């Protein structure tokens, strides 16, 4: 009998509810070390000039840094932010707060780790390479689906590949789940990021790593996704349910892994800069052979929500670009092992991946 089961950190504290964002000041008060150790708020620049900004509880020398989510987080971007924060303040900040979708949540996680660890964030991409605990970090999702609010990873584009800093120190200390913050998410973005959650569930529930822990969360998240994307909920209920679906979807991955769509979408995004949510959808549409039921449901969701996926995304790629894409994808070993089992290399090859990419 195996007794070395993984011992996972969880988000220590979580608030859920409409308007809970206004409790941020009260939540941060006990975290503040002194007047010179600020709280730094990394905020999606989509909120610049909106009513959300005056609600951010700034005191002392706290700082807001607006960041565009146009591009997904990069290791050199994280390193630059850490240099800026170190040069702006005499003390290590009391905490980092990330406000936004998966992009801002991941940046907040990575910056909080790099404020206490040496070197470049690129050196910590991988599994359990972080040596020192991060500083306090708090996540406020404004877009739901990635599960970045609960996961123990922060996915970064590095010089060599797109890979997470997976560690026990990555997980947020606190998360504030306020469904009202999802008001105003563009419909197409809502769908693509929501599908990230749906695809997490399908890949986790159909993976070889599945156990009862992952299954319990995955099944709940899948049920919520069906209600949100195939049911007739009012908008307020849909926001609450997608927020909880994302949470459960992320929890489901803790003991399991994602699968074929994620492995292939990482290649797509490395070569073409395609964003995570849409990249997953582009790939998933062609994976009926791996996830027949999931792909059928996915097609129903596309139709019900009037979404037309972009076509011919890979039509102009060179041989070298296809090669890179395939190599990046195949390097995601745990994802393939989860999807296809220990002998995954016997079940998939470069030609197979090439034929799927060509359809996208
Ligand atoms: P995102 O954060 O990239 O944001 C997408 C767009 O939505 C941006 O234009 C942003 O400005 C906008 N937006 C966000 N909130 C909004 C709001 N309330 N109103 C209007 N617009 C809003 O999107 P995402 O899909 O949440 O995150 C994708 C990122 O998450 C990728 O970098 C991916 O690698 C990462 N990810 C991380 C994990 C993890 O476990 N750490 C898991 C999956 C994905
Ligand atoms: Zn994902």
Q: Which pLDDT value is given to residue 2?
A: 64
Going by pLDDT thresholds of 50, 70 and 90, the confidence category of residue 281 is very high
Ligand 2 center to 235 CA (angstroms): 23
- Please give the class, per CATH, of domain 187-359: mainly alpha
Does ligand 1 come within 6 angstroms of the Cβ of 106? Answer: yes
Which residue CA neighbors atom 34 of ligand 1 most closely? 155
CA distance 216 to 359: 34
Q: Tell me the mean pLDDT in the region 344-351.
A: 96
pLDDT of residue 1: 62
Taking alpha carbons only, the member of 78, 158, 143, 64 closest to residue 110 is 78
Which position has the token pair 């990046």?
328
This model of the complex carries an ipTM of 0.99
DSSP 133: P
Contact 283, 329 (CB under 8 A): no
Q: For ligand 1, say whether the CB of 261 is within 6 Å of any of its atoms.
A: no
Atom of ligand 1 nearest to the CA of 146: 43
CA 44 / ligand 1 centre spacing (Å):
9
What spacing in Å lies between the alpha carbon of 106 and ligand 1's midpoint? 9
Query: Does ligand 1 have an atom closer than 6 angstroms to the CB of 193?
Result: yes
Q: Which residues pair with 183 in a beta bridge?
A: none
Q: pLDDT confidence of 161, banded at 50, 70, 90?
A: confident
200-215 pLDDT, tens digit per residue, is 999 999 999 999 999 9
Pocket lining: 44 vs ligand 1, CB cutoff 6 Å: yes
Domain boundaries, the chain: 13-181, 187-359
Identify the architecture of domain 13-181 in CATH: 3-Layer(aba) Sandwich (3.40)
User: 255 pLDDT band (50/70/90 cuts)?
Assistant: confident
Q: Is 184 in the pocket of ligand 1 (CB under 6 A)?
A: yes
Q: How far is the CA of 274 from the centre of ligand 2 (A)?
A: 13
CA separation for the pair 160, 47 (Å, rounded): 32
Give per-residue pLDDT as tens, 170-186: 999 999 999 999 999 99
- Binding site membership of 203 for ligand 1 (Cβ less than 6 Å): no
- The per-residue pLDDT of the chain, averaged, comes to 97
Distance 144 CA to ligand 1 centre (A): 8
**104 CA → ligand 1 middle, Å:** 7
Residue range 37-58: mean pLDDT, rounded: 98
């Amino acid at each position: 009998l195996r007794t070395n089961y993984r011992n996972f950190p969880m988000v220590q504290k979580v608030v859920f509810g409409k308007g809970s964002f206004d409790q941020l000041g009260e939540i941060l008060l006990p975290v503040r070390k002194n007047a010179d150790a600020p709280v730094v708020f990394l905020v999606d620049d989509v909120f610049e000039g909106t009513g959300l900004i005056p609600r951010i509880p700034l005191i002392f020398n706290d700082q807001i840094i607006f960041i565009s989510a146009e591009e997904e987080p990069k290791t050199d971007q994280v390193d630059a932010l850490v240099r800026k924060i170190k040069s702006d303040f005499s003390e290590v900040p009391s905490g980092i707060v990330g406000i936004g979708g998966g992009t801002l949540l991941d940046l907040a996680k990575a910056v909080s780790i790099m404020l206490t660890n040496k070197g470049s964030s690129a050196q910590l991409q991988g599994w359990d390479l972080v040596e020192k605990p991060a500083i306090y970090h708090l996540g406020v999702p404004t877009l739901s689906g990635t599960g970045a609010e609960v996961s123990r990873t922060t996915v970064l584009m590095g010089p060599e590949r797109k890979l997470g800093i997976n560690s026990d120190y990555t997980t947020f200390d606190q998360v504030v789940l306020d469904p009202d913050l999802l008001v105003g998410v563009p419909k197409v973005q809502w769908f693509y990021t929501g599908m990230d959650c749906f695809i997490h569930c399908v890949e986790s529930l159909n993976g070889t790593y599945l156990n009862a822990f992952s299954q319990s969360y995955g099944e709940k998240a899948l049920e919520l996704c069906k209600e949100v994307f195939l049911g007739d909920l009012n908008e307020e209920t849909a926001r609450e349910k997608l927020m909880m679906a994302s949470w459960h979807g992320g929890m489901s991955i803790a003991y399991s892994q994602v699968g074929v769509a994620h492995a292939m979408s990482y290649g797509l995004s490395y070569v073409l800069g395609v964003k995570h949510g849409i990249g997953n959808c582009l790939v998933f549409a062609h994976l009926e052979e791996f996830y027949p039921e999931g792909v059928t449901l996915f097609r129903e969701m596309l139709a019900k929500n009037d979404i037309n996926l972009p076509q011919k995304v890979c039509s102009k790629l060179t041989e070298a670009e296809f090669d890179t894409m395939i190599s990046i994808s195949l390097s995601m070993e745990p994802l393939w092992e989860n999807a296809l089992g220990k002998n995954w290399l016997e079940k998939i090859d470069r030609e197979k991946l090439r034929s799927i990419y060509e359809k996208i």
